[in-house]
Amino acid sequence: MTDEHGHEHYASPRSRRARSEFELRTMALEALLVERGLASTDAIDKYVEYVEKRLGPHHGARVVARAWVDPAFRARLLDDGTAAAAELGIGGIEGARVRVVANGPDVHNLVVCTLCSCYPWSLLGAPPLWYKSFAYRSRAVAEPRAVLREFGVELGPDVEVRVWDSTSETRYLVLPERPAGTDGWTEEALAALVSRDAMIGAGRAGSAC
Protein backbone atom coordinates (compact mmCIF):
# COMPACT_ATOMS: atom_id res chain seq x y z
CA MET A 1 0.00 0.00 0.00
CA THR A 2 1.38 3.41 -0.88
CA ASP A 3 0.71 6.77 0.71
CA GLU A 4 0.48 10.23 -0.79
CA HIS A 5 4.26 10.41 -1.15
CA GLY A 6 4.25 7.44 -3.52
CA HIS A 7 6.27 5.06 -1.36
CA GLU A 8 5.14 1.85 0.27
CA HIS A 9 7.06 1.98 3.53
CA TYR A 10 4.72 4.26 5.46
CA ALA A 11 1.05 3.55 4.78
CA SER A 12 -1.02 6.67 5.43
CA PRO A 13 -4.69 6.74 6.49
CA ARG A 14 -5.17 9.45 3.88
CA SER A 15 -4.99 6.94 1.08
CA ARG A 16 -8.47 5.84 0.01
CA ARG A 17 -8.12 2.22 1.06
CA ALA A 18 -6.43 2.98 4.39
CA ARG A 19 -8.95 5.70 5.18
CA SER A 20 -11.81 3.30 4.59
CA GLU A 21 -10.31 0.66 6.87
CA PHE A 22 -9.48 3.26 9.51
CA GLU A 23 -12.97 4.73 9.52
CA LEU A 24 -14.62 1.30 9.67
CA ARG A 25 -12.49 0.28 12.64
CA THR A 26 -13.19 3.58 14.36
CA MET A 27 -16.93 3.24 13.86
CA ALA A 28 -16.87 -0.35 15.13
CA LEU A 29 -14.88 0.63 18.22
CA GLU A 30 -17.19 3.55 18.97
CA ALA A 31 -20.27 1.32 18.64
CA LEU A 32 -18.72 -1.27 20.97
CA LEU A 33 -17.83 1.32 23.62
CA VAL A 34 -21.33 2.79 23.53
CA GLU A 35 -22.98 -0.66 23.58
CA ARG A 36 -21.01 -1.69 26.68
CA GLY A 37 -21.71 1.58 28.44
CA LEU A 38 -18.04 2.58 28.55
CA ALA A 39 -18.59 5.83 26.65
CA SER A 40 -21.40 7.94 25.26
CA THR A 41 -21.66 9.33 21.76
CA ASP A 42 -21.69 12.84 23.25
CA ALA A 43 -18.44 12.20 25.12
CA ILE A 44 -16.82 10.82 21.98
CA ASP A 45 -17.99 13.80 19.92
CA LYS A 46 -16.58 16.20 22.52
CA TYR A 47 -13.23 14.41 22.48
CA VAL A 48 -13.07 14.53 18.68
CA GLU A 49 -13.88 18.24 18.79
CA TYR A 50 -11.14 18.74 21.37
CA VAL A 51 -8.55 16.97 19.22
CA GLU A 52 -9.56 18.88 16.10
CA LYS A 53 -9.73 22.35 17.67
CA ARG A 54 -7.37 22.28 20.66
CA LEU A 55 -4.70 20.05 19.14
CA GLY A 56 -3.31 19.86 15.65
CA PRO A 57 -0.63 21.05 13.26
CA HIS A 58 -2.33 24.42 12.83
CA HIS A 59 -0.97 25.33 16.28
CA GLY A 60 2.56 24.32 15.35
CA ALA A 61 2.19 26.28 12.13
CA ARG A 62 1.31 29.40 14.13
CA VAL A 63 4.47 28.97 16.17
CA VAL A 64 6.61 28.57 13.06
CA ALA A 65 5.05 31.58 11.36
CA ARG A 66 5.67 33.75 14.42
CA ALA A 67 9.30 32.63 14.51
CA TRP A 68 9.68 33.57 10.85
CA VAL A 69 8.53 37.15 11.40
CA ASP A 70 9.81 37.80 14.93
CA PRO A 71 13.55 37.21 15.51
CA ALA A 72 13.19 37.67 19.27
CA PHE A 73 10.45 35.03 19.43
CA ARG A 74 12.57 32.72 17.27
CA ALA A 75 15.42 33.02 19.76
CA ARG A 76 13.10 32.24 22.68
CA LEU A 77 11.61 29.32 20.76
CA LEU A 78 14.99 27.74 20.13
CA ASP A 79 15.94 28.31 23.76
CA ASP A 80 12.72 26.94 25.30
CA GLY A 81 10.09 25.61 22.91
CA THR A 82 7.53 24.93 25.62
CA ALA A 83 7.67 28.44 27.08
CA ALA A 84 7.59 30.10 23.66
CA ALA A 85 4.54 28.08 22.59
CA ALA A 86 2.85 29.03 25.85
CA GLU A 87 3.20 32.68 24.83
CA LEU A 88 0.71 31.89 22.06
CA GLY A 89 -1.60 30.04 24.43
CA ILE A 90 -0.44 26.59 23.30
CA GLY A 91 0.40 24.00 25.91
CA GLY A 92 -0.49 20.73 27.58
CA ILE A 93 1.11 17.59 28.96
CA GLU A 94 2.10 16.30 25.51
CA GLY A 95 3.67 19.66 24.75
CA ALA A 96 5.88 19.76 27.82
CA ARG A 97 9.64 19.87 27.33
CA VAL A 98 9.56 20.59 23.61
CA ARG A 99 12.89 21.26 21.96
CA VAL A 100 12.84 23.12 18.65
CA VAL A 101 15.59 22.56 16.07
CA ALA A 102 15.96 24.83 13.05
CA ASN A 103 16.62 23.84 9.46
CA GLY A 104 19.01 25.95 7.44
CA PRO A 105 20.94 25.94 4.17
CA ASP A 106 23.56 23.58 5.61
CA VAL A 107 21.49 21.41 7.96
CA HIS A 108 18.23 19.46 7.80
CA ASN A 109 16.62 17.99 10.90
CA LEU A 110 14.44 14.88 11.03
CA VAL A 111 12.44 13.70 14.05
CA VAL A 112 11.76 10.08 14.96
CA CYS A 113 10.74 8.17 18.07
CA THR A 114 12.63 4.88 17.95
CA LEU A 115 10.87 3.39 20.99
CA CYS A 116 7.24 4.23 20.29
CA SER A 117 5.58 7.43 19.03
CA CYS A 118 6.43 10.26 21.42
CA TYR A 119 5.17 13.40 19.78
CA PRO A 120 4.21 17.01 20.68
CA TRP A 121 0.45 16.55 20.40
CA SER A 122 -0.41 20.08 21.48
CA LEU A 123 1.56 21.42 18.51
CA LEU A 124 1.06 18.73 15.86
CA GLY A 125 -2.03 16.77 16.88
CA ALA A 126 -2.07 12.98 16.66
CA PRO A 127 0.98 11.39 15.01
CA PRO A 128 0.47 9.98 11.51
CA LEU A 129 0.49 6.21 11.09
CA TRP A 130 3.77 6.25 9.19
CA TYR A 131 5.51 8.00 12.10
CA LYS A 132 4.59 5.06 14.36
CA SER A 133 5.57 2.37 11.85
CA PHE A 134 8.58 0.15 12.48
CA ALA A 135 9.88 0.90 8.98
CA TYR A 136 10.08 4.63 9.63
CA ARG A 137 11.40 4.29 13.19
CA SER A 138 14.24 2.06 12.08
CA ARG A 139 15.12 3.48 8.67
CA ALA A 140 14.98 7.13 9.74
CA VAL A 141 17.98 6.41 11.94
CA ALA A 142 19.83 3.99 9.67
CA GLU A 143 19.33 5.77 6.33
CA PRO A 144 17.70 9.18 6.85
CA ARG A 145 18.65 10.53 3.42
CA ALA A 146 16.92 7.63 1.69
CA VAL A 147 13.81 8.13 3.83
CA LEU A 148 13.76 11.85 3.10
CA ARG A 149 14.13 11.15 -0.60
CA GLU A 150 11.04 8.92 -0.45
CA PHE A 151 9.15 11.86 1.06
CA GLY A 152 10.32 14.06 -1.81
CA VAL A 153 13.06 15.89 0.10
CA GLU A 154 16.24 15.91 -1.98
CA LEU A 155 19.31 17.16 -0.14
CA GLY A 156 22.70 18.03 -1.51
CA PRO A 157 25.75 16.10 -0.26
CA ASP A 158 26.93 19.19 1.62
CA VAL A 159 23.76 19.34 3.75
CA GLU A 160 24.13 17.72 7.17
CA VAL A 161 21.20 15.53 8.26
CA ARG A 162 20.54 15.47 12.00
CA VAL A 163 18.14 12.86 13.39
CA TRP A 164 16.49 13.61 16.74
CA ASP A 165 14.98 10.83 18.85
CA SER A 166 11.89 11.98 20.72
CA THR A 167 11.16 10.51 24.14
CA SER A 168 8.57 11.05 26.85
CA GLU A 169 11.05 13.47 28.40
CA THR A 170 11.89 15.54 25.32
CA ARG A 171 9.80 15.95 22.18
CA TYR A 172 11.14 17.66 19.09
CA LEU A 173 9.70 20.13 16.61
CA VAL A 174 11.49 21.19 13.43
CA LEU A 175 11.50 24.87 12.53
CA PRO A 176 11.55 24.69 8.71
CA GLU A 177 13.18 27.29 6.52
CA ARG A 178 10.97 30.17 5.47
CA PRO A 179 10.14 29.91 1.75
CA ALA A 180 11.66 32.54 -0.51
CA GLY A 181 9.38 35.25 -1.83
CA THR A 182 7.31 35.60 1.35
CA ASP A 183 8.62 38.95 2.55
CA GLY A 184 5.77 41.08 3.86
CA TRP A 185 3.38 38.16 4.24
CA THR A 186 1.09 38.04 7.26
CA GLU A 187 1.57 35.38 9.91
CA GLU A 188 -1.72 33.79 8.87
CA ALA A 189 -0.58 33.50 5.26
CA LEU A 190 2.77 32.11 6.32
CA ALA A 191 1.18 29.56 8.64
CA ALA A 192 -0.76 28.18 5.68
CA LEU A 193 2.57 27.15 4.13
CA VAL A 194 3.58 25.03 7.13
CA SER A 195 2.63 21.36 7.05
CA ARG A 196 2.83 18.74 9.77
CA ASP A 197 5.46 16.86 7.76
CA ALA A 198 7.63 19.99 7.57
CA MET A 199 7.57 20.24 11.37
CA ILE A 200 8.69 16.62 11.66
CA GLY A 201 11.38 17.23 9.05
CA ALA A 202 9.90 14.81 6.55
CA GLY A 203 8.97 17.72 4.29
CA ARG A 204 9.61 21.37 3.59
CA ALA A 205 7.41 24.40 4.05
CA GLY A 206 5.21 25.00 1.02
CA SER A 207 6.17 27.16 -1.90
CA ALA A 208 5.20 30.81 -1.98
CA CYS A 209 4.20 30.46 -5.63
Q: Which residues are catalytic?
A: 113, 116-118
Q: Give the HSE-up count for residue 49: Cα atoms under 13 Å, Cβ half-sphere.
A: 6
- Quick check: 139 and 133 in contact, CB under 8 A? no
Residue of 167, 63, 79, 164 whose CA lies nearest to 119: 167
Q: Crossing angle of helices 41-54/16-35, nearest 10°?
A: 140
Dist. CA 138–CA 149, nearest whole Å: 16
Give dist(CA 82, CA 95) in Å, integer. Answer: 7
